Amino acid sequence: MSLEMIRYGFLLENIQKVLLYYPNILYNTRVEKKGRTYVYLKALRVNQWIKNFIVFTAIIFSGTLFELPLFLQTLSAFFIFCLLSSTSYLLNDIIDYPYDIKHPVKKNRPIASGKISIQHATFLVFFLTVISLLTSLFVSLPFFFLSLLFILLHFFYSLYLKKFPTVDIFSISFSFMIRAYAGEVVTGFHIPIWLTLTIFFISLFMATIKRHAELVNHGRETRESLYRYKEHYLDFLTNTFATATIIAYATYTYVERIPQVKTVLSSFTETLIPALEVRKWMMVTVPLVVYGVARYAQLLYERDEGERPEKIITQDKPLVITIILWVTTIVLLIYVL
């Protein structure tokens, strides 16, 4: 029997169990009440919600971050995508259960370790999907379709797309693009094309490094697509996407004008420095992006890190400082000076 048939049978079997036994699912997990909250938060991967901050791209770079109605709309979009992301993680863990129990790290995940039953997790996928999509309808119809596209992309990614090299990392990148466009839809402000390309390339860069780290640290047995990846090919992709990220961002800073938010200080600086608005001040952030990309790659090649991007960007001190400096500079250029 093929692996594909086993996966389908595994998924359908658990859907059937959910439909038959869902009244008792909430009470029949193997998790003790004391640690239940932590286990569920771990299964939902709340620590990875940081990825959804990309929804704020449109409102930040349009100079409208402090307009309350738009901010609340974007905040709503952020939380909806947090739920959608958690749904996709649960779905992926259910489908990948046969692989995860053999993985040295993933075997400790709540589903793979048996702390949350497959049936319970399947019920949560249905529940969170319905709640997320219904809530997205209250935002707007275009936002609902983007939310639906996001969950469908992750469904097909978990079943099919992640088996194919290169296609898998492009699928991850497209999920980041959907998040960015969701922020655009709720605010009505267009994200400049070169900034969009920056998001596209940097997500490809991070996904490639993730695959590279998985291959080096755990071998090919833990992920099907790794059988068709070669280390030198991943090196090539890493270099390509790192270069493309820097070029796209540098082009954005040169081509696009900074949206100016009028403040007392900005009026003073305009008097002090004539033609301030037409100067390419955003280009001062390019060195920070170059260093950030280089540091991220350094962590792969020196320490074989990269499997958990959310851990790297929140715990590596040089990278955290770089991100803080970049965000601070962006806010100063758009909203203060």
Q: Could you say which of 190, 216, 233 is where a domain stops?
A: 190
pLDDT at 308 over 70: yes
Distance, in Å, from the CA atom of 12 to the CA atom of 154, rounded to the nearest integer, reads: 18
Same-domain pairing of 209 and 185: no
Q: Could you say which of 121, 156, 190 is where a domain stops?
A: 190
Q: Residue 263: which residues within 8 A CB-CB, separation 6 or more?
A: 335, 336
pLDDT at 3 over 80: no
Same-domain pairing of 196 and 182: no
pTM over 0.85: no
- Rounded to a whole number of angstroms, the distance between the first and last alpha carbons of the chain is 65
Per-residue tokens: 68: 């309350």
At 308, give phi and psi (nearest 5°). -125, 90
Confidence of residue 30 (pLDDT cuts 50, 70, 90): very low
Domain count, the chain: 2
Q: Could you say which of 190, 225, 257 is where a domain stops?
A: 190
Nearest partner of 222 among 293, 162, 282, judged by Cα:
162
Same-domain pairing of 151 and 164: yes
Same-domain pairing of 230 and 142: no
Same-domain pairing of 182 and 238: no
Same-domain pairing of 171 and 46: yes
The CATH number given to whatever domain includes residue 142 is: 1.10.357.140
pLDDT at 196 over 50: yes
Confidence of residue 29 (pLDDT cuts 50, 70, 90): very low
Q: Residue 116: which residues within 8 A CB-CB, separation 6 or more?
A: 29, 30, 31, 39, 40, 43, 110
Same-domain pairing of 259 and 221: yes
Q: Which domain holds residue 331?
A: 192-337
pLDDT at 306 over 70: yes
Q: How many helices (H) and strands (E) does the chain have?
A: 14, 0
